Chain A
Amino acid sequence: MTTPAYAAISDAPAEDRLAYAITEIARQSPESIAIVRSAGGDGRWAITYSTLAAQVTALEAALDATRPVGIVARAKRIESLVVIAAACGRQHVPVAFLADDSRDLSGALRDWIEVDDSLELPPSAGRPRLEFEAISPHVVVATSGTSGPPKLVEHSWDSLLAAARLAEQWHGLGWLLAYDSTRWAGIQVWLQALLTGGRLVVPASRDPDTVARALAEESVAVLPATPTLLRRLLASADRSVLEKAALGRITLGGEAADGPLLSDAQAVFPQAKITQVYATTELGEVFRVADGRPGFPAAWLGKSLPGGASLATRRDGELLVQLSRDTAEVGTGDLVERRGDRYEFTGRRSDVIVVGGAKVFPKRVEEMLRSVAGIAEARVYGLPSGITGELVAAEIVLTEPLPASASPESIRAAALAICRESLEPHSVPRILDIVKRIATTAAGKTPRRPISAGRS
């Protein structure tokens, strides 16, 4: 697949690169599949690079004729989002991707034009027009709102593409899109897949069996996921289907992974190289760890990492990142703790539950609960209390089938007993509910606050 023209993709200006890659790959192998939608479900649907390229060209012509000040991508279909991004980039038109929970932020993008799945521009009479050279093309993405309400963040195409791997070993692979396609993490996945002539595989739903079928049937090679999504896949999907998947790589991000998850994943996918990526919407990718252990080497602190970032900790354990010498040090909100030769993540500062003045790290309690035989998944959160400020509450999902001679009640009692033995009294869950499934946030993470009234 590497020809001089293909190699030139990385030489193109960042904002041109996606459109350039799609048209170039369409020219070389027009019938190769760019995107598979509804994978693993009924109504599987695929689009080729040549069809995608034709849509990019058509939208570019329309953008060139009207020169809008910006485009808000309102499309629901993944291929429309790709076409809008590619065309806007090469035509120097700023583009915004707004997830469902950030739709009301579009008021900040006054005069921007909305484009939906029809990929048509509304009549532009009376609209302000901007010349090609007058604006710097950029991309607006909403943060996931893990730590506060979603907000709009403006990125250059250079920063958006900074983490994309364009070397030959990445060419022509199948990528699973488990993330929301309008968020930073999801955008990274589809950009990566389409810049490298790959096949983007979008599962029909987040149901673990559907995702497992998508992995196996579409020969997915790379699975980017949050630890929560991977844990659910390993805990709930049909193992015989999962083991048919030929994953070469699992890229974890968005949350910290724990040791048991990393070793479980390696056992189910022995061929897969498992990488943990530390990135935020604001900073982009900061570092990756690929040694199969949680956290990162303690020796990294105070050193300049590949990519130029350097790490430090605040006195309370918050991880600080300085992206380069000439940028300011930024607090990440993530708390780390030294354990032997590693720094491990203990949770987000905003996730800390305060019970009678004492701090509880939900991640640690969740790990304790998941270590109990018969518990597949756990979520720990704080419930407001008029007596102690907050109270530790937890939801657990039991394994199917249950371990021999265990009952839901015996597993619940065992979980409480183990927590009592191993945790400080204020960290022991006081409310422990057995649920069918644990909700995830739109970004595929485990929520740390009560959902509705805290009950299902």
Chain B
Amino acid sequence: MNVSVSEAIAAAIRTVLHDTGREAKAIEPTMLLSADLGLDSLDLAQTIVLLERSLGIDPFRSASGARPAIRSVADLVAVYTQALTQS
């Protein structure tokens, strides 16, 4: 797993939790975004904008067509790692 990508994603999620008045916790790759971290679609949208700032890409805006379900932190890491290698 790409360390800098997963760090950026963990940092973004911690910011989202902090900004929305929730407790920031240790982010593990296996955690489910919704069930474990309590992230809703607005939280995910914010995470993606924050990642566009830190990583310079938004894989959810540019590409069209089918996309694998993003359920866990690891799924998110995979999408960004792939998008970064393609760009």
In the bound complex, CA of A164 to CA of B42 (Å): 49
Residue A388 interfacial (CB < 8 Å)? yes
Residues of A within 8 A of B50 (CB): 431
Which of B3-11, B24-32, B53-61 lies at the interface? Answer: B53-61
Residue B46 interfacial (CB < 8 Å)? yes
Number of B residues contacting the other chain (C-beta, 8 Å)? 15
Which of A24-32, A169-177, A379-387 lies at the interface? Answer: A379-387
B45 & A388 in contact (Cβ 8 Å cutoff) = yes
Residue A391 interfacial (CB < 8 Å)? yes
Residue B36 interfacial (CB < 8 Å)? no
Smallest CB–CB gap between B10 and chain A, Å?
A: 18
Residue B65 interfacial (CB < 8 Å)? no
Residues of B within 8 A of A384 (CB): 61
A455 & B45 in contact (Cβ 8 Å cutoff) = no
Smallest CB–CB gap between B63 and chain A, Å?
A: 9
Residue B21 interfacial (CB < 8 Å)? yes
B45 & A417 in contact (Cβ 8 Å cutoff) = no
Residues of A within 8 A of B13 (CB): none
Please name the residue on chain A nearest to B70 by beta carbon. Answer: A387
In the bound complex, CA of A387 to CA of B42 (Å): 8
Of the candidates B20, B41, B46, B50, the one having the most CB atoms from chain A within 10 angstroms of its own CB is B46
B46 & A430 in contact (Cβ 8 Å cutoff) = yes
A391 & B49 in contact (Cβ 8 Å cutoff) = yes
In the bound complex, CA of A352 to CA of B53 (Å): 24
Residue A411 interfacial (CB < 8 Å)? no
Q: Among residues 34 to 51 in chain B, which have CB atoms less than 8 Å away from a CB atom of chain A? A: 41-42, 44-46, 48-50
Residue B23 interfacial (CB < 8 Å)? no
Residue A420 interfacial (CB < 8 Å)? yes
Smallest CB–CB gap between A359 and chain B, Å?
A: 15
A391 & B45 in contact (Cβ 8 Å cutoff) = yes
Residues of B within 8 A of A391 (CB): 42, 45-46, 49
In the bound complex, CA of A249 to CA of B61 (Å): 49
B49 & A426 in contact (Cβ 8 Å cutoff) = no
B41 & A388 in contact (Cβ 8 Å cutoff) = yes
Residue A204 interfacial (CB < 8 Å)? no
B21 & A420 in contact (Cβ 8 Å cutoff) = yes
> Which among A416, A420, A430, A432 is the interface contact of B45 at CB below 8 angstroms?
A430
A386 & B46 in contact (Cβ 8 Å cutoff) = no
> Which among B21, B42, B60 is the interface contact of A386 at CB below 8 angstroms?
B60
Please name the residue on chain B nearest to A385 by beta carbon. Answer: B45
In the bound complex, CA of A416 to CA of B46 (Å): 14
> Which among A356, A416, A426, A432 is the interface contact of B21 at CB below 8 angstroms?
A416
Please name the residue on chain B nearest to A388 by beta carbon. Answer: B45
Residues of B within 8 A of A416 (CB): 19-21
A387 & B48 in contact (Cβ 8 Å cutoff) = yes
A356 & B61 in contact (Cβ 8 Å cutoff) = no
B21 & A417 in contact (Cβ 8 Å cutoff) = yes
In the bound complex, CA of A432 to CA of B46 (Å): 11
Smallest CB–CB gap between A188 and chain B, Å?
A: 40
In the bound complex, CA of A18 to CA of B58 (Å): 55
Of the candidates B19, B21, B60, the one having the most CB atoms from chain A within 10 angstroms of its own CB is B19
Of the candidates B19, B42, B45, B49, the one having the most CB atoms from chain A within 10 angstroms of its own CB is B45
In the bound complex, CA of A455 to CA of B52 (Å): 11
> Which among A417, A425, A432 is the interface contact of B42 at CB below 8 angstroms?
A425
Contact with B along A218-256 (1 / 0, CB 8 A): 000000000000000000000000000000000000000
Would A385 and B48 be within 8 Å (CB), given that A355-B42, A356-B41 are in contact? yes
Please name the residue on chain B nearest to A383 by beta carbon. Answer: B49
Residues of B within 8 A of A430 (CB): 19, 42, 45-46, 49
Question: Which chain A residues have a beta carbon within 8 Å of chain B's beta carbons?
Answer: 355-356, 383-388, 391, 393, 416-417, 420, 425-426, 428, 430-432, 455
6 nearest CB pairs, A to B: A386-B60, A430-B46, A387-B45, A386-B61, A385-B45, A388-B45
Interface CB pairs A-B, < 8 A, 18: A356-B41, A385-B45, A385-B48, A385-B60, A386-B48, A386-B61, A387-B45, A388-B41, A391-B45, A416-B19, A416-B21, A420-B20, A420-B21, A430-B19, A430-B46, A431-B46, A431-B49, A455-B53
Question: Which chain B residues have a beta carbon within 8 Å of chain A's beta carbons?
Answer: 19-21, 41-42, 44-46, 48-50, 53, 58, 60-61
Contacts beyond the supplied A386-B61, A387-B44, A431-B46: 18 A-B pairs with Cβ under 8 Å: A356-B41, A383-B49, A385-B48, A386-B60, A387-B41, A387-B48, A387-B60, A391-B45, A391-B49, A416-B19, A416-B20, A416-B21, A417-B21, A420-B20, A430-B42, A430-B45, A430-B49, A431-B50
